[in-house]
Amino acid sequence: MFAPDELTSDGFLGGRLTVLQPRRGYRAATDPVLLAAAVPASAGQSVLELGCGAGVASLCLAARVPGLRLAGLELQPAYAALARENAAMNGVALEVVEGDLSAMPAALRQSFDHVIANPPYYPAGGGTGAADPGRERAMREETPLATWIEAAVRRLAPRGVLSLIFGADRLPDALAALDGRMGSSVLLPLQPREGRPAKRVILQSRKGGRAPFRLLPPFVLHEGAQHDGDRESFSPAAAHILRNGGEFPFRLI
């Protein structure tokens, strides 16, 4: 477990949430906040987050949509404990279960209206590993992306929605993993700035959906052609999500 001096206290959603995170381990940035803003959940529904880390995505979703039944699965015990502490500190009922998504714990072998995930960004092998083992495990793929998606599909109720955020370079793998059980898929490219290639994407798909695939216009995160100083440069739409806890200005699915 993390010692108190190994943690920082960080604000999310303009200070609406206070989250403890490890100084040198995996630290949530914008991805879990953007993921939460994309989930088309409503009060009374159930949501499972695979690989919940310190719980940021689930907590951001709870701040926007009260009355959800939230559960999280986390492989690393120290992060699972941190997610529970963060949930309690923010008054959110989040059940966090330790375990491996490739061998789903019995407590989570049930159906959910939504499954969400921010899978590891870097592929296995190659590159320079992180010095902190917790960060390395959170950021580098050990379990294939196809296994993440298979675990999510199994946990979805009929007509349930899968929401993922991941690197744009993994899109072919993700689409290949969506079999005949999933459909009505929607893809949102996340563009750092106008004219720049999208580095992240949000992909949503409905279990049993039959609507055609939709590619949405890019969502631009920052204003200006380049970073021009020590200040925030989020676009108004991005700031509404990241600072005010808003949802995307269009319905993804």
**Residue 125 — left, alpha, or beta (φ > 0 → left; ψ -120 to 50 → alpha)?**
left
Q: Using CA atoms, how far apart are residues 72 and 84, in angstroms rounded to an integer? A: 10
Give the per-residue pLDDT at 195.
94
253, 113 in Cβ contact below 8 A? no
Give the per-residue pLDDT at 129.
47
The pLDDT mean for the chain works out to 92
Summarised one tens digit per residue, pLDDT across range 201-225 is 999 999 999 999 999 999 999 997 6
Give the per-residue pLDDT at 178.
94
Summarised one tens digit per residue, pLDDT across range 228-252 is 655 578 999 999 999 999 999 998 9
Summarised one tens digit per residue, pLDDT across range 146-173 is 999 999 999 999 999 999 999 999 999 9
* Portion of the chain with pLDDT greater than 90, in percent: 84
Close Cβ partners of 179 (under 8 Å, ≥ 6 residues apart): 153
Q: Is 122 exposed, middle or buried (0-12, 13-18, 19+ CB in 10 A)?
A: middle
**Higher-confidence residue: 224 or 108?**
108
* Portion of the chain with pLDDT greater than 70, in percent: 89
141, 125 in Cβ contact below 8 A? no
- The CATH architecture assigned to 29-244 reads 3-Layer(aba) Sandwich (3.40)
- Average pLDDT estimate for 106-128: 83
Strand partners, 219: 190
Strand partners, 69: 46
Q: Is the pLDDT of residue 140 over 50?
A: no
Rounded to two decimals, the pTM is 0.91
> Kind of pairing, strands 69-74 and 46-50?
parallel
Q: Is 226 exposed, middle or buried (0-12, 13-18, 19+ CB in 10 A)?
A: exposed
Q: Using 50, 70 and 90 to split pLDDT, how confident is the model at 59?
A: very high
